[in-house]
Structure 1
Amino acid sequence: MKQLAAILLLEFATHAAAGERMSYGEAEYLNSCAVCHGVEGKGDGPLSDLLVKRPADLTSISKRNGGTFPYARMFAVIDGRYAVPSHGEREMPVWGRQFLEDDKQLYGPAGGEIVTTERIHELAGYVQSLQR
Structure 2
Amino acid sequence: MAAVSLALTAGAAQAQSAAGAEEYARACATCHGLTGHGDGPLAEYMSVAVPDLTTISAGNNGEFPLLDIIHVIDGRTGVRGHGSMMPVWGDRFEASAASEAGDYGAEVMVRGRILALATFLEAIQQQ
**2: CA distance, partners of 1:94 / 1:120:** 11
Q: Which residue of 1 aligns with 2:101?
A: 107
Listed one character per residue, the Cα deviations across residues 67-121 of structure 1 (whole Å, up to 9, x for unaligned) are 0000000000000001158x99643100000100001111111000000000000
**1: CA distance, partners of 2:83 / 2:37:** 22
Deviant stretches of 4+, over 2 Å: 87-91
**2: CA distance, partners of 1:47 / 1:70:** 26
Q: Which residue of 2 aligns with 1:116?
A: 110
**2: CA distance, partners of 1:46 / 1:97:** 24
Distance 1:66 1:116, change over 3 A: same
Q: Which residue of 2 aligns with 1:41?
A: 36
Distance 1:88 1:43, change over 3 A: closer
The letter of the residue matching 1:53 is: V
**2: CA distance, partners of 1:26 / 1:76:** 19
For residue 92 of structure 1, give the secondary structure of its aligned residue in structure 2: coil
**2: CA distance, partners of 1:88 / 1:123:** 17
Unaligned runs of 5+ in 1: 1-20
**2: CA distance, partners of 1:62 / 1:120:** 18
Unaligned runs of 5+ in 2: 1-14
- The equivalences for 1:1-132 within 5 A come to 23-84=18-79, 90-132=84-126
Listed one character per residue, the Cα deviations across residues 41-87 of structure 1 (whole Å, up to 9, x for unaligned) are 000000000010121100000000000000000000000001158x9
Task: Work out whether residues 53 and 91 of structure 1, in 8 Å CA contact, stay in contact via their aligned partners in 2.
Answer: no
Task: Report the TM-score, using the length of structure 2 for normalisation.
Answer: 0.82
**2: CA distance, partners of 1:43 / 1:120:** 19
Higher relative contact order (CA 8 A, sep 6+): 2
**1: CA distance, partners of 2:121 / 2:53:** 7
The letter of the residue matching 2:121 is: V
For residue 112 of structure 1, give the secondary structure of its aligned residue in structure 2: helix
